Amino acid sequence: MNVVEKILSSHLLEGQLGQEQEIGIKIDQTLTQDATGTMAYLEFEAIGLNSIKTEISVSYVDHNTLQDGYENADDHLYLQSIAKKYGLYFSKAGNGICHQVHLERFAAPGKTLLGSDSHTPTAGGMGMLAIGAGGLDVAVAVAGGPFFLPAPKVLKINLVGKLQPFVTAKDIILKVLQLLSTKGNVGYIVEYGGEGIRYLSVPERATITNMGAELGVTSSIFPSDDVTYDFLKAQQRANDWVELCPDKNATYAKELTINLLELRPMVACPHSPDNVKEIAEIEGMPVNQVLIGSCTNSSYKDLYTIATLLKGRKIDPSVSFGVAPGSKQVLEMITKDGLMLNIIEAGGRLLESTCGFCIGMGQSPNSEAVSLRTNNRNFYGRSGTESAGIYLVSPETAVACALTGMITNPAAYFANEKLNFSQPKKYMINENLLLAPLEPRERENVPIFKGPNIGSPPRNEALPKSLLLRTGLKVGDKITTDHIMPAGAYLKYRSNIDKYSQVVFKNVDPDFSSRCLANIQEGFGNLIVGGLSYGQGSSREHAAICPMFLGVKVVLVKSIERIHRANLINFGIIPLIFNSPADYEAIFQGDEWIIEDIREQLKLNQKIAIHRRTSNDTIYAQTDFSTRELEYLLSGGKLNVLK
């Protein structure tokens, strides 16, 4: 077996591997962050248990740390009270980004992790099968329920050779994105192998598995080997290590080989992580902003590297330069080592150890800016400045560009530099912002705090016999969950669905929300029509909850991404695929439709006939729902079934 099969087989609760069917697996650990966690724990409360049923569950505060109004602070108090009441770890604001902290303190080879954040596969750099999902799926896992997914196919990426100086793990994953793109990879898990992996530390591996989320795959993973042991030992967690490598005769659905020796510094250009070029192709372009951080590149190794390169140098006066350590541990270590002084003396700004600028929470660049970031995503408008172009690069490339004020090849600029980073023998451990679970007897009388911005999870109604629909919106290819539900300042309304639903598709069509409500008043459900790779990006289940609140009943697209599809089904919205992609071209906003006997059509699990009343014609859509998914759709969502 390969590494993925070994973990899945040891956690299999329902179904069979090796067949194209749904499987259910046991989840050992869960994580949430505050932007998705509030709704996830409201859903957990609705299930009605008095304690978590996982080995470890952690509630992190790392997204909404700008205290703009009372809403975020109230959410944090709610999350802390939930952790105390039900037995979770609670990571306070300032302790760091969930994926960086989880890698340091909790991730373990051979275990399973489900997180309400699409970059949960970061822990795959530790040999852990880590999967992003919607909050309701995580709530069920916290309650001890299985996580269901189509039995995945495994794509092996062989890394051969060794990276040249100033070519990095970030360049590896950018090359993978250039080769595979962000679409067409649904249903795969990427497993890395080859002799080249022995030269990659756990933080470097985690950079690669983190950005694997942009491929649209279920997860990415590295074997657990001596490199993994050394990292865990340095984190004073050697007892968590197990060796986990593929068998010599392991087989894979596909294989791809990348020669690391031939790799050059790369950049993802606006507005997609797969719009990848070599740095040399855009060298010389003026740069306005450089930001280093995010869950992709904020480890101690990353900050050690950039601080070393900044020593004795000055940031170009035309560049706004900021650095966000990924965790309190990283911040403490670079401070103790004196490396922080290098950053400050060079003209850098120290930013909080949070997601921050990566999710558009602060540090919006100037209009028409060229902003270089070590983020994992550069979607249009995500930075908070729609006219800005966001370019994704490695920390080494970012520093070179910040020093010169233009796109610069770090391999050439630092040609005479030698980096001598080696794994610390011991990382600093200070858990004063990581609160351990209370003992069961201490939890009984803990009150749950709920401020006025916190509502209850909305519920859908059971699917009626027939659906009368009106096309509320037609969009193109590669629509992300950022398009559907804007991030940034709007995140504070995630526990207030009535308020948050007012900005659905705001940056695509500001009238969408009001149009949907008007259609409801006239007796119509709403239909969204989309192109290829609909729903890529974040795991945010609000991209399903808020449309459901606005009466969206069906999403009809050319293809759809895994997490968003699951979220739609969880909240009773039917995701359908065009039987003939050519039908997409003939659909217009305002078209009126009827789907007769929709319940019976779904039960047959065959083509769905959708009759257009406005032009008296019929188009067809494909279905492929499991028995479980069908039950959710007929019942109006997963919460109704659980209840």
pLDDT at 153: 95
DSSP sequence for 577-599: EESSGGGGGG--TT-EEEETTHH
Asked if residue 209 and residue 80 are part of one domain, the reply reads yes
Gyration radius from the chain CA atoms: 24
Dist. CA 287–CA 404, nearest whole Å: 9
Determine, yes or no, domain membership for 521: yes
Query: Could you read off the pLDDT of 326-385 as tens digits, one per residue?
Result: 999 999 999 999 999 999 999 999 999 999 999 888 899 999 999 999 999 998 889 989
| 68 has a pLDDT exceeding 90 | no
Residue 139 is part of a domain; what is its CATH number?
3.30.499.10
| 67 has a pLDDT exceeding 80 | no
pLDDT at 642: 85
At residue 610, the 3 state secondary structure works out as: strand
Determine, yes or no, domain membership for 488: yes
Global pTM value: 0.94
Asked if residue 493 and residue 390 are part of one domain, the reply reads no
CB 236 within 8 A of CB 106: no
Token couple for 466:
């027939």
Asked if residue 408 and residue 509 are part of one domain, the reply reads no
**Which among 237, 262, 287 is the end of a domain?**
262
**Which among 389, 413, 437 is the end of a domain?**
413
Query: Could you read off the pLDDT of 585-641 as tens digits, one per residue?
Result: 999 999 999 999 999 999 998 899 999 999 999 999 999 899 999 999 999 999 899
Asked if residue 539 and residue 404 are part of one domain, the reply reads no
Mean pLDDT of the chain: 95
Token couple for 561:
């991404």
Asked if residue 128 and residue 11 are part of one domain, the reply reads yes
β-pairing, 254-259 vs 153-160, is: parallel
Domain limits at 629?
Answer: 467-642
**Which among 262, 292, 317 is the end of a domain?**
262
SS (H, E, C) 437-493: CCCHHHHCCCCCCCCCCCCCCCCCCCCCCCEEEEEEEECCCCCEHHHHCCCHHHHHH
pLDDT at 423: 86
| 112 has a pLDDT exceeding 90 | yes
Over range 454-461, report the average pLDDT. Answer: 87
Asked if residue 75 and residue 215 are part of one domain, the reply reads yes
CB 162 within 8 A of CB 199: yes
Determine, yes or no, domain membership for 14: yes
Asked if residue 526 and residue 392 are part of one domain, the reply reads no
The C-alpha angle with vertex 172 and arms to 166 and 174, in degrees rounded to 5, equals 105
Taking residue 91's Cβ as centre, other Cβ atoms within 10 Å add up to 30
Tally the domains of the chain. Answer: 3
Determine, yes or no, domain membership for 33: yes
pLDDT at 350: 96
Determine, yes or no, domain membership for 79: yes
Closest CA to 496 of 60, 69, 66, 82: 69
pLDDT at 224: 98
Asked if residue 476 and residue 369 are part of one domain, the reply reads no
> Which stretches of 328-457 are DSSP H helices?
328-336, 339-346, 395-404, 410-413, 440-443
Determine, yes or no, domain membership for 440: no
**Chain centroid offset of residue 72 CA:** 20
Determine, yes or no, domain membership for 577: yes
Over range 388-409, report the average pLDDT. Answer: 98
Determine, yes or no, domain membership for 66: yes
Asked if residue 472 and residue 365 are part of one domain, the reply reads no
Query: Could you read off the pLDDT of 177-236 as tens digits, one per residue?
Result: 999 999 889 999 999 999 999 999 999 999 999 999 999 999 999 999 999 999 999 999
Report the share of the chain in percent with pLDDT over 90.
Answer: 89
Taking residue 427's Cβ as centre, other Cβ atoms within 10 Å add up to 18
Query: Could you read off the pLDDT of 147-157 as tens digits, one per residue?
Result: 999 999 999 99
Asked if residue 488 and residue 521 are part of one domain, the reply reads yes
Asked if residue 629 and residue 543 are part of one domain, the reply reads yes
At residue 528, the 3 state secondary structure works out as: strand
Token couple for 482:
């950022």
Residue 612 is part of a domain; what is its CATH number?
3.20.19.10
CB 530 within 8 A of CB 576: no
β-pairing, 349-350 vs 12-14, is: unpaired
pLDDT at 138: 97
Asked if residue 177 and residue 45 are part of one domain, the reply reads yes
Query: Could you read off the pLDDT of 90-104 as tens digits, one per residue?
Result: 999 999 999 999 999
